[in-house]
Chain A
Amino acid sequence: MAVLSATMVGMGQGNYWLPLVVALLAGASLRFCDRFGQIVLDWWVINVAVLGTVAIAIWRFAQVTGAPDAAVAAEGLIGLQVVMMFERKTSRTHWDLFSLSLLQTFLACAFYHGPLFGLVLATYLFFLLVTLNLLGIHRQQQRSRSAEGSHGGRTAYEAGLRTDWWQVAGVAAGTLIVGPLSLYLRLHPTSERHEGRSHKPDGQHPARLLGSRGRSGELFQPVLVDAARSSCSEPFGAEYWWRFGRMTVACLLIGAVVFLTTPRFGGVNVSLIRGGTGSWQSAPLTLQRSVGYDDQVQLGEVGSTLENTQKVLAVRLRRHRDNADVPLVGTLFLRGAVLNRYSGGSWQWVSPVDNPSDLMLQAVDTEFERQDAPMELIRQEFRVEPMDRPDLFYVWPSIRVNRDVRMRFDSDAQRFRRVGTIVRRAFNYELVTAELVDGQQAALAPAVAPVELAPLMEWSPESFPALARLAQEWMDQANVPPSDLMGRARALERALRSSPRFSYRLGEQPRDPALDPIEDFIVNDPRGHCEYFASALALMLRSQGLPSRVVVGFKTDEFNQLDQRYWARQSHAHAWVEAYIPAEAIPADVHQRHPLFDWSHGGWLRLDPSPSSLSELTLAEYLRQRWRDWRTSMQTAWTQHVMQMSGTQQFSLIYRPMLTTVRDTLTRMGEARSDGQFSGTPRQLITLALPWIIAASLAIVAFAWWTFRQHRLGKNWRGRDRRSAKRWWGNGQTSHPIDFYRRWESLLLKRGLERPPAQTPREFARHAADRLNGMAGQPPLHESAQCVIDAFYQVRFGGSKLDDRQIARVEEALQHLHQSTRGKAPSRTAVESER
């Protein structure tokens, strides 16, 4: 437990060495302290350690500023725990070590953890259960080890634990000085009496009893000499461990239920969460840095993020009408920002003079009922991780649904954004698009508003002579008719992408300062990342008279099979080009396709000139991809459903589905009656009522079984009582040959008369009759007694049965005795005879 709790603390701090050191020290304590007793610390050493821990913690708190104080406290507890490991082990030591380990676990929860923490916690739980069990067994053994069984009913062990008021006072005083850690102070040495060791009594009692003087009464007391103890080697078999494994699973389930149902008031409080610094941290809670979404983007900004594999967002694609998942082939382009003006190595967005903002807003804010939605509409369910900016990502063009007021379309910037109050934390949103056609994202998207071409044509021929020459050269080689604008654009795209001269490379290359970076890219160093390729293509298109702009966003093909989502990481940040195609140049069949927007304003053709690195996956890569999918899903599930669980999420995860299911069921039942399809046939009735019938039947069966069981238990007891009574008192009939004699004896017993072993039944009967006859008001019983005894001897020793007449006489005699025994009984003595 100590090692695991130190591991959890170390995970929070990104400290590899902490659990290793603790493991080594724990092993050393097992060997040198517990087994061979070579290093055993005294109680005062523990006290010094407690005081030292407090002093060091106070000093460190005072020294550091802004650092996680949970780490300081946890390290102090670990130090104290290590010292206690070298103490001679008593019950108290074990419990102290246990509690310190638990405290460390609580402090470890102050850090931000990944799913690995959950695994370690589950393992810790298993050992916690085993430790509790062993401590419980140890305590039970100690209690039974006490030989003296009486201190008013309490054992010596318990007597040793009586409240020591001096100890209480010491703890109270210590608490004022060192705080709660005073509970770990040892105020007096551990003594054997607290362990309930076996107390060997003085075995010389017999000689002293009669021969010597002593305190009156002391030597007459019975003494528990010894009590055997069951060996503990038996429990630790396979059944034991298997059982604890199942208990661990049960505790995990209970923990999950408690966790999910515990009410959360408000959002997740991130103030308790500290970011770690080590590489153990799967996802330190730092805000994702977004690039390319400022008003001006410098070449190279996007490239700086391309080696970062942190997750940015996930999107699930479903058909809006029926919620069916939509499989996609190929990559997904998610727009973030558009940039239309290039100058000296940077792109920026310049708002058009005539800003058709109203039209854009109207276009993107159209709402309609889901059941009326065309089949082509695809809903995008996004979850974006906490970022430093409010920008959202989507397939262009998209529209809002459900009047989500948490996000808005900034028509000036041409971007979807979330409202400022919910920046810096994870955010879920939905948009609808029609651009995913036949399992692919369409390359051509309609322009939802009139396009101002001037900013899209700006370029400086004198700055890009080589670029212009190259574009012209490629265009001539492509031999595409000038009227085929889409063909011409694609030709340039293909040429740039497939040109062996240009290669994709991450990281910045040194550029000639005398040239524009893009010109240098074309002329001197044709190596660069997506920004260079996109910029080059955009300028080439403009040089050929095709309006174009650069789009920055994410391009991802990472599809997670487990959660059916596309994942976008920082490394998926991408830049591509959109070329404007006027309405008249768009093919006629495209016009028919779109249900949301029309093509009257033309369209935007997506072009991605960056060379692709797609290739066939080898087995290793496939396995790596599957492992990555699985790990991503685990991390996502952990982050979303554990670390960032909130009241809202609880409602959407648990309560809303329940309410929705109930509501839909009731609605369906109501609809079946009202829409005319329900005609009341027996089959329909049975189908409708079947779930209820099954549920009701199960409930009735369960209730019947429970009732039967209760009745059976009661009957068993009552039956047992009845049988006992019957056996004891009889029911007026002689069921056993000498039952009548037993009844005779029991009746006499009620009168305090019991036959001693040395007396024959006949003698006893005579004596009993004498006794009873001697009492006032009692009828003579000699004849009755004689009758019973004669019958007894006949049956018991004579071996013959009684006839009916004899039975009747015996019953009469017993009734006579029964009536005579109704009076007050004398004091019960087993007296054989008296004067």
Chain B
Amino acid sequence: MRPLYFRRMLCREGTYYTLMVIGVFLWAVTFGANLLVLVAGLLTGPLLLNLWLSKRTLKGIEVSRHLVGTVTAGQAIPVDIQVDNRNKRSRWVVAVQDRMRGEWTGQPVKELRPRLFFASVPGGQHRRLTYRIMMPQRGRYRFGPLRISSRFPFGLISARRWLHDETALTVYPRLGHLSSAWQRRYFPVPQGTTGSRRAGRAPGDFYAVRQWQPGDSSRWVHWRRSVRQGQLIVRQFEQPSDKRFILVVDLWQPERPEWEDLQRVELIVSFAATVVSDLCHRPGFHLRLTLTGSPPQTIQGSTNAAVQSAALDRLAVASATHQVDEGAVWESVAEEFSGPSEIVVVSPRAGTLLAKNWSDTAPAHLATYWQIIGPLERRFSEYFKAG
């Protein structure tokens, strides 16, 4: 881990201590008090030793951060900080300060600087401590750089080293619960699991590899890659699908949004994320997720973990705007539309006059396939409960 830079500084206690030693020294020299000179000389030792040892403590110390890969809003995520002592002798009083800031978040977030204190790290060993952060808001966050410091041994002088270790974390939107009404409405018949193909057989073309996930067949394991990477790697195959589901997320908010407007946006994002997650656990579907924007963003593919990941990734950083080109969205949907599909437009404007824009711009041939729902409608709360 590449250090950024290094710095030593007097702490507050060190400043008082130094002033005291200087005062005693001057008094002793002025009045020729030999014992005081001796005491002042003895008190100088801790300052010099601290100056040297504080820097030496940080040598041979490596710090690493371990984060979970993904997390959804509302979860408390553990962050492990591990300190490795490459030296033969113990190192004491090592403090590690991390830094977490929002790289992209809906609302501005304050910076967090968690501190961890390692009283002792024996030579050749490591110590690991964990701190947990509650992430209430979706978005992309960045951890780092790490700062390790030590005031060993006397707490008078602090040596600090900044390490270039930044980790990005994407916090997915909060997931809620889809009710049975939703299931009945959009998924009346179980899809794609019986009679269509044998379990374990991957019908599609192999196009990539990914990490093994629960549910993957052992036949899909790419053994050579797994041995090389030390973890199970499976092949990815394209999955032919029978049913298409189009979800359009209307990221709209007034030009000067109120608190309720922001909440509604979050609610629809959470709903969209929940729908995507639910759908991606159902094989045999083709999902198209379109987010309004300029230009509109679309993620589509057969429902699988990769599509889910891509969709949630996009939803995590989705931002609302007061200008939405409904026509452009309908055009992109119409282009890809082929046959019976469910088209759901989730909009914070649903149930208001503003939602009329959607119906006004919708292509005629899609009229029977799409519907708009939103937090202001009763059925929204029938379909979805926030997490």
B76 touches A206 (CB 8 A): no
For A113, the chain B residues whose CB sits under 8 A away are 35
- Which of B49, B105, B208 is within 8 Å of A761, CB to CB? B208
For A257, the chain B residues whose CB sits under 8 A away are 41
Mark A291-304 against chain B: 1 for CB-CB distance below 8 A, else 0: 00000000000000
Residue from B24, B39, B135 with most neighbouring chain A CB atoms (10 Å) = B39
B111 touches A153 (CB 8 A): yes
Q: Does A398 contact B (CB under 8 A)?
A: no
A256 touches B41 (CB 8 A): yes
Q: Does A47 contact B (CB under 8 A)?
A: no
For A205, the chain B residues whose CB sits under 8 A away are 74, 134, 136
The CA-CA distance from A266 to B32 in the complex, in Å, is 8
Which stretch, B87-95, B189-197, B347-355, touches the partner chain A?
A: B87-95
Q: Would you mind naming 25 contact pairs between A and B with Cβ atoms under 8 Å apart?
A: A129-B46, A132-B156, A136-B155, A143-B115, A149-B111, A205-B74, A217-B108, A222-B141, A224-B132, A227-B115, A227-B116, A227-B132, A228-B116, A228-B131, A229-B116, A234-B120, A239-B89, A250-B49, A254-B49, A255-B41, A258-B40, A259-B41, A269-B32, A644-B34, A829-B297
What is the distance, in angstroms, from B156's C-beta to the closest C-beta of chain A?
Answer: 7
What are the 6 tightest A-B residue pairs by CB atom distance, in nearest-first order?
A136-B155, A251-B45, A258-B41, A269-B32, A255-B42, A109-B35
The CA-CA distance from A232 to B94 in the complex, in Å, is 12
A227 touches B131 (CB 8 A): yes
For A144, the chain B residues whose CB sits under 8 A away are 95, 115-117
Q: Does A738 contact B (CB under 8 A)?
A: no
Known contacts A125-B42, A209-B136; A106/B36 CB under 8 A: yes
For A545, the chain B residues whose CB sits under 8 A away are none
B113 touches A150 (CB 8 A): yes
- Which of A210, A254, A271 is within 8 Å of B44, CB to CB? A254
A224 touches B37 (CB 8 A): no
B310 touches A758 (CB 8 A): yes
The CA-CA distance from A756 to B109 in the complex, in Å, is 28
B387 touches A222 (CB 8 A): no
Known contacts A258-B40, A832-B299; A645/B131 CB under 8 A: no
The CA-CA distance from A224 to B111 in the complex, in Å, is 11
Residue from A135, A758, A835 with most neighbouring chain B CB atoms (10 Å) = A758
Known contacts A221-B109, A834-B296; A269/B38 CB under 8 A: no
Known contacts A239-B90, A255-B38; A224/B155 CB under 8 A: no
For B309, the chain A residues whose CB sits under 8 A away are 757-758
Q: Does B181 contact A (CB under 8 A)?
A: no
Known contacts A222-B135, A259-B41; A149/B107 CB under 8 A: no
Closest to B386 in A: A210
Q: Does B110 contact A (CB under 8 A)?
A: yes
Known contacts A121-B39, A226-B131; A149/B310 CB under 8 A: no
The CA-CA distance from A74 to B335 in the complex, in Å, is 93
Residues of A in contact, count (CB < 8 Å): 99
Q: Does A155 contact B (CB under 8 A)?
A: yes
What is the distance, in angstroms, from A410's C-beta to the closest C-beta of chain B?
Answer: 32
- Which of A128, A143, A213, A228 is within 8 Å of B130, CB to CB? A228
A235 touches B119 (CB 8 A): yes
For A244, the chain B residues whose CB sits under 8 A away are 153
Closest to A641 in B: B34
Q: Does A272 contact B (CB under 8 A)?
A: yes
The CA-CA distance from A137 to B106 in the complex, in Å, is 40
The CA-CA distance from A150 to B25 in the complex, in Å, is 40
Chain A 781-834 residues near chain B, CB threshold 8 A: 797, 829-834
For A834, the chain B residues whose CB sits under 8 A away are 295-298, 332
Mark B245-282 against chain A: 1 for CB-CB distance below 8 A, else 0: 00000000000000100110011001000000000000
Known contacts A153-B111, A255-B42, A833-B298; A235/B92 CB under 8 A: yes
Q: Does A615 contact B (CB under 8 A)?
A: no
A150 touches B38 (CB 8 A): no
B112 touches A224 (CB 8 A): yes
Closest to B141 in A: A222
- Which of B34, B114, B267 is within 8 Å of A210, CB to CB? B267
B119 touches A224 (CB 8 A): no
For B107, the chain A residues whose CB sits under 8 A away are 216-217, 220
A262 touches B41 (CB 8 A): yes
Q: Does B376 contact A (CB under 8 A)?
A: no
Closest to B262 in A: A216
A797 touches B130 (CB 8 A): no
For A220, the chain B residues whose CB sits under 8 A away are 105-107, 109, 136-137
What is the distance, in angstroms, from A208's C-beta to the closest C-beta of chain B?
Answer: 9
A251 touches B42 (CB 8 A): yes
What is the distance, in angstroms, from A645's C-beta to the closest C-beta of chain B?
Answer: 5
Q: Does B301 contact A (CB under 8 A)?
A: yes
Q: Does B379 contact A (CB under 8 A)?
A: no
A149 touches B37 (CB 8 A): no
The CA-CA distance from A95 to B16 in the complex, in Å, is 11
A209 touches B29 (CB 8 A): no
- Which of A222, A247, A272, A645 is within 8 Å of B112, CB to CB? A222
Known contacts A223-B133, A251-B49, A255-B45; A235/B115 CB under 8 A: no
Point out residues on A near B: beta carbons under 8 Å: 95, 102, 105-106, 109-110, 113, 117, 121, 125, 128-129, 132-133, 135-137, 139-141, 143-144, 146, 149-150, 153, 155, 201, 203, 205-206, 209-211, 213-214, 216-217, 219-232, 234-235, 239-240, 243-244, 247, 250-259, 262-269, 271-272, 642-645, 720, 756-762, 797, 829-835
The CA-CA distance from A141 to B131 in the complex, in Å, is 14
Q: Does B22 contact A (CB under 8 A)?
A: no
What is the distance, in angstroms, from B75's C-beta to the closest C-beta of chain A?
Answer: 9
For A143, the chain B residues whose CB sits under 8 A away are 95, 115, 117
Known contacts A144-B115, A144-B116; A210/B45 CB under 8 A: no
For A206, the chain B residues whose CB sits under 8 A away are 74, 136, 174, 387
Known contacts A129-B46, A216-B262; A235/B120 CB under 8 A: yes
For B331, the chain A residues whose CB sits under 8 A away are 835
What is the distance, in angstroms, from B274's C-beta to the closest C-beta of chain A?
Answer: 12
A756 touches B299 (CB 8 A): yes
The CA-CA distance from A153 to B112 in the complex, in Å, is 7
A149 touches B113 (CB 8 A): yes
Closest to B332 in A: A835
- Which of A135, A216, A835 is within 8 Å of B259, CB to CB? A216
Known contacts A220-B137, A250-B49; A262/B328 CB under 8 A: no
B270 touches A210 (CB 8 A): yes
Closest to B23 in A: A106
The CA-CA distance from A760 to B304 in the complex, in Å, is 14
Residue from B92, B108, B206, B270 with most neighbouring chain A CB atoms (10 Å) = B92
For A231, the chain B residues whose CB sits under 8 A away are 119
For B118, the chain A residues whose CB sits under 8 A away are 230
The CA-CA distance from A214 to B13 in the complex, in Å, is 41
Closest to A724 in B: B2
What is the distance, in angstroms, from B192's C-beta to the closest C-beta of chain A?
Answer: 18
- Which of A235, A250, A645, A757 is within 8 Å of B45, CB to CB? A250
Q: Does B48 contact A (CB under 8 A)?
A: yes
A254 touches B74 (CB 8 A): no
For A221, the chain B residues whose CB sits under 8 A away are 109-110, 136-137
For A121, the chain B residues whose CB sits under 8 A away are 38-39, 42
B153 touches A132 (CB 8 A): yes
Closest to A260 in B: B41
For A251, the chain B residues whose CB sits under 8 A away are 42, 45-46, 49
What is the distance, in angstroms, from A761's C-beta to the closest C-beta of chain B?
Answer: 7
B109 touches A642 (CB 8 A): no
Task: Beyond the given A109-B39, A228-B116, please list 7 additional residue pairs across the A-B interface where CB-CB is below 8 A.
Answer: A105-B39, A140-B93, A150-B111, A213-B259, A231-B119, A262-B41, A271-B31
Chain B 21-76 residues near chain A, CB threshold 8 A: 24-25, 28-29, 31-46, 48-49, 73-74, 76
For B337, the chain A residues whose CB sits under 8 A away are none
A259 touches B116 (CB 8 A): no
The CA-CA distance from A760 to B13 in the complex, in Å, is 60
Known contacts A109-B33, A221-B136; A210/B130 CB under 8 A: no
